[in-house]
Chain A
């Protein structure tokens, strides 16, 4: 087996009002991981630790086989990073930035950079301060991609991009992993983008990982069952049911994270009629998962 692109084991980090509590994560080489969480969940803290920009209080962090933060200088040759909070020099042009990054990284691919300029519809002679937010984001992505890093870490790379730009970016991310040794970790609020291109999905909330698994089996486990009940019927508590929502006296929607046909039969046996079995989008699953994990913590 090749070295994992990144690996965190029981990582802890405390701030005055926030704590990363025992985060463990692993991303195999050649895969894309979507990192999803509400605001303030710990996504950026986790990414800062991965990038060596913050040091964990406890736990092991390895990026491309290098121990972080101590070996970060070595890891960073092959590590591309981009965050929506990054700013480039306003008075310098995009072309100046391209030359600057090219002068530092020997793996810089000038032809690829030229292709990306066209694809992202950017002009090298333009000064950064005259660029829109979306153009700024695309410039940052271009600077990270053209280095052809083995691991790309992207913190909210889609924020503020129009649909066409998002499509171009997604397509570039997909072509970056045509090579099996390259991997991507990206955090996003855009669950649709994550659902489309990610192999692995990780949910974080309040400093804890609440789920991390491969996308296909993950989406397969979740279903919503629409039930019609004879009046007066109390629904039994069945295993794998995360939420039950009643609408009026005779209708109920049951959300499960461990769907099997046996669950539908079990409801039929107690007298409920299963009207529909629906698949759920990643966004719906995410909300259900966060709500149910918060309930467990406070219970």
Chain B
């Protein structure tokens, strides 16, 4: 195989491709594979590598920049931001995103805050039980 890509974008994943890519880059950074100051591949190189359109990678980089995860210096390239303890902050942000999506869905389904809290606790208990068994 000539593809050196360690990213995997799937059309069976319900999320848009740019979100999948953002997620995998964030994980790379959180795991410390890409340390602060690390230079990201250029947009075109990553696009060719992952086999997705340039515009998709561009969008993923733009959104990561807006989140403060990476910084882009004109003509120099994109780098992992030099912020302290990026890993745990990224994980917290990821959690917030998932929670926001869950709350939005609950609102659309007409769930009350009480019901939502209850459901959250149930899921936590189910997970804990699974772990024990």
| A→B interface (CB under 8 Å) | 30-32, 119, 167, 170-171, 174-175, 177-180, 192, 195-200, 214-216, 219-220, 264, 268, 273-277, 279, 281
Contact = CB atoms under 8 A, between A and B. Distances in A.
B44 A32 contact: no
A279 B53 contact: no
A227 B7 CA distance: 36
B54 interface: yes
Contacts of A170: 51
B110 A273 contact: yes
Contacts of B53: 32, 196-199, 215
B16 A196 contact: no
A275 B59 CA distance: 29
Interface of B: 2-3, 9, 11, 14, 16-18, 44-45, 47-48, 51-56, 59, 108-110
B45 A178 contact: yes
A277 B108 contact: yes
A277 B14 CA distance: 12
Contacts, number: 66
Contacts of B2: 119, 171
B55 A171 contact: no
A275 B3 contact: no
Nearest to A282: B11
Nearest to B18: A216
A276 B56 CA distance: 25
Given A178-B45, A196-B11, A216-B18, A275 B52 contact: no
A2 to B, nearest CB: 15
A171 B56 contact: no
Given A177-B48, A199-B53, 16 more contacts: A32-B54, A167-B51, A174-B47, A174-B48, A174-B52, A177-B47, A178-B47, A180-B44, A196-B9, A196-B11, A214-B55, A215-B55, A216-B55, A216-B56, A273-B109, A279-B14
B79 to A, nearest CB: 20
B59 A216 contact: yes
Contacts of A268: 108
A195 B11 contact: yes
B98 to A, nearest CB: 16
7 contacts: A196-B51, A199-B53, A200-B55, A220-B16, A264-B108, A273-B108, A281-B11
A233 B47 CA distance: 48
Nearest to A176: B48
Contacts of A281: 11
Contacts of A180: 44
